[in-house]
Structure 1
Amino acid sequence: MKAFALRRTGEPPAVIDRPVPEPGPGEVLVRTTAALICAWDGHLAAGAPTGLGHEAVGVVEAVGPGVCPSYAGRRVGVEGHGRLAEFFRAPAAGAGLVPLPRTISDHQALYAAGALPTGFAAADESGPPPGGSVVVFGQGAVGLSATVSAGRLRGARVIAVEPEMKRQRLALRFGADVVIDPAYEDTTERILELTGGAGADRAIMATAAPAAATAARAGLSDGGRITYARCRPPRSSGARLARALRLIDEGLVDPTVITTHEFPFDRVGEAFTRLAAREPGMIKPVILFPRPVPAARRP
């Protein structure tokens, strides 16, 4: 099978050949149909050799010992590392794998496997009071997810901070009340103006920009709190994934508008390079895997 991974530390990731893994006890083998690339994959690429990708959907191809045979053939959303591969193993229960309802498309389910739960968890941890103010710094996929959760789901007044025009428009679409462009406005002064001089009740950091952290601290009210959006422990990911799927199914969130580019798997290296270079206008590239060739048609 083909997998997008690191060969050695310090080398760029590439598509490499690996044997199809065998599912162990309590595991399933998933054939990937689609996956997303995010900035976190770039951080992993700077570390030890590993598989990349942590947001994927696919079909259970085989089951390991102790797993009900009925799992075979199920569409599933999966969170975890090493998902940018034609096949991967995953625990059948407990964390990170959820059967997909027919009403949810692969494209929608991809966001439930990563960006949405991460942004939702940041908003939950932040806990903005209903009607209170929360500033969300960065409007990539995770920041947008925090914006929709803090505003539409928790009833807070959301101030988004984002310099890129396409992301600014998406922030408003995802429920931000106001968008601050830090390239043209003093972020702290604008936050204080919008909050009547009191400062924001909460700040959520969905960017690592140093200037954003400085503005967040200066723009908080007395007793305000900063929350950093980050990946949560795998043991909680199954429940978070299921919650995101439910909100998508109910029509409360449409994450597919975050996707800006599509690439076939044979161009995954190009997608990764362009995202890592922070190409203007690129937020989330989706990677589409080829459908299997029926045995009767194989040469």
Structure 2
Amino acid sequence: MQITAAVAPEPGAEFVLEAVELDEPRADEILVRVTAAGLCHTDLITKDDPRRREPIVLGHETTGIVERTGREVTGVRPGDRVVLSYRSCGACRSCAAGDRAYCARARRLNGSGRRPDGSPTLTWRGAPLGGSFFGQSGFATHALATEDNAVRLDGAVDPLVAAPLGCGFQTGAGAVLNVLRPPPDGSVAIFGAGGVGLAALLAARAIGVGTTIAVDVLAERRELALRLGATAALDPGEGEVAARIGELTGGGATHAVEATGLAPVFEEALAALGTTGMLAVVGLGATSARLDLRDLLHRGKSVRGCIEGDAVPQRFIPELLALHAAGRFPLGELVTAYPFADINRAVADQRAGRVLKPVLTW
């Protein structure tokens, strides 16, 4: 079928809205009419990756309405409203242990640009077009997905709020709720107050953590963090971040989230931990950083990588939506709606820090 999609033609180029061909759903697939799609840092990294060799349709924080299902699909049906998240095989050792975010087939299922069997879901100008991004490619009027990455939504849920739960908000909140699990008398320092970082802040506030500290270079984000209930918001440009966090927490944060993907920020976050403190790393970017092994050893600190908030979407997304409905997780404060036709303006605004989480709508 012919659909409209935001194609990333080559690394560094802007998105272009184009007519493309989408395959018919196979036996295990569902066809979703897209209502909203969040713009995530991972989309932009992939768009501009110089190693990318073909045009691609990105988008992996998608809400929509199921229009058709394959004959093997039993968990969703036409008319269901869904949010789409990452794919996992369900059969490998990690999946069997409940660690679906670390699926052994994650790369093939989420980042190969093809179905697991190597076939394309999209064609453009007579040639295969990269698709199946996180099992969806939601920057389009329609997307093919599967039961394992679709979560049914209650009819009352705002798609602008639900879409980023597919990745960014799930990641930040899960880093706190599933990995760090700070107690009420603990303290959480969040490095990078973007969509992921502020979702982590809201999660810490939702479970009553006493001290929450946001660190960001942008004054607007620091101000928003304070409005959302942060105990303090620090400008790293003023220096001595670890020392200031030590003063605010009485010796260092019990927990921290690194959401920037920058090596110097990771090093600062680790230094800001108190004795036996734990750091969750969720930012995508740097491939190496310095570790003070003596500090790590003698103060019992730990570092934990965290993908997708260690979440199983079918369980975790409904939990976050319940917190939102109860007024304890106000995600609406983080999103800004854009028409899909303005996708490049949304990218520019996000990169400039004018908005936190753009959500594209048709």
TM-score scaled by structure 2? 0.72
Deviation at 1:177, TM superposition (A): 1.3
Give the corresponding residue for 1:137: 191
Equivalent position of 1:183 in the other structure? 237
State the partner residue of 1:111: 164
Identity fraction in percent: 30
- 1:285 is the counterpart of 2:287: no
Residue 242 (structure 1) shift? 2.0
- SS for the counterpart of 1:19 is strand
Shift of 1:154: 5.2
Query: Aligned AA for 1:263?
Result: Y
Residue of structure 2 equivalent to 1:217: 270
Preserved contact between residue 62 and residue 166 of structure 2 (Cα < 8 Å): yes
Select the residue among 35, 40, 43 that pairs with 1:38: 40
What secondary structure sits across from 1:16 in the alignment? strand
Q: Tell me the distance in 2 between the aligned counterparts of 1:66 and 1:219.
A: 51
Residues 53/69 of structure 1: CA separation in 2 closer, same or farther (3 Å cut):
closer
Distance of 1:149 and 1:233 partners within structure 2:
12
Letter in 2 for 1:52: L
8 Å contact kept, 1:199–1:219: yes
Matched residue of 1:60: which SS?
A: strand
Query: Residue 170 of structure 1: CA displacement?
Result: 2.1
Kindly indicate whether the alpha-carbon contact (under 8 Å) linking 1:128 and 1:156 is maintained by their aligned counterparts in 2. no
Q: In 2, Cα distance between the equivalents of 1:145 and 1:168?
A: 14
What SS does structure 2 have at the residue aligned with 1:59? strand
Partner of 1:83: 138
User: Deviation digits for residues 150-186 of structure 1, max 9, x if unmatched?
Assistant: 2322524211112222211221233321111212352
Runs (5+) with no aligned partner, structure 1: 290-299
* Deviation string, structure 1 residues 14-38 (Cα, Å, up to 9, x no partner): 3333213311112210011111112
Structure 2 partner of 1:267 = 342
Amino acid at match of 1:226: L
Give the structure 2 partner of residue 57 of structure 1: 63
**Residues 14 and 273 of structure 1: CA distance in aligned 2, closer, same or farther (over 3 Å):** farther
Q: In 2 relative to 1, CA 252–235 (structure 1 residues): closer, same or farther, beyond 3 Å?
A: closer
| Alpha-carbon distance in structure 1 between the residues aligned to 2:311 and 2:270 | 31
Give distance in 1, aligned partners of 2:231 and 2:75.
49
Is contact 1:15-1:269 (8 Å) kept?
A: no
Distance in 1, matches of 2:48 and 2:63, equals: 25
Q: CA deviation at 1:270?
A: 2.9
Pairwise mapping of residues 168-179 of structure 1 onto structure 2 (< 5 A)?
168-179=222-233
Cα distance in 2 for partners of 1:247, 1:149 equals 9
Note the alpha carbon deviations across 1:69-117, whole angstroms, 9 max, x for none.
Answer: 97112221112431111111111x33x3122212211122123222221
Q: What is the Cα deviation at residue 284 of structure 1? A: 1.4
- TM-superposed CA distance for 1:11, in Å, is 4.8
What is the CA RMSD across the aligned residues, in angstroms? 2.3
Tell me the amino acid that sits aligned with residue 145 of structure 1.
A
How far apart in 1 are the matches of 2:160 and 2:20? Answer: 26
Q: State the match for 1:121 in structure 2.
A: 174
Task: Tell me how far apart the structure 2 counterparts of residues 258 and 243 of structure 1 sit (CA, whole Å).
Answer: 18
Deviation at 1:12, TM superposition (A): 4.5
Indicate the SS of the match to 2:236: coil
Query: Equivalent residue for 2:118?
Result: none
**1:240 paired to 2:316:** yes
State the distance in 1 between where 2:309 and 2:269 align: 26
Check conservation: 1:21, 1:88, Cα contact below 8 A: no
Separation (CA, whole Å) in 1 of partners of 2:42 and 2:281: 14
- Could you tell me how far apart the structure 1 residues matched to 2:311 and 2:232 are? 35
The number of residue pairs the alignment matches comes to 283
- Do the aligned partners of 2:29 and 2:144 also contact (CA within 8 Å) in 1? yes
Tell me if 1:255 matches 2:331. Answer: yes
Partners of 1:24 and 1:11 lie apart in 2 by 32
* Equivalent-residue separation in structure 1 for 2:181 and 2:81 (angstroms): 33
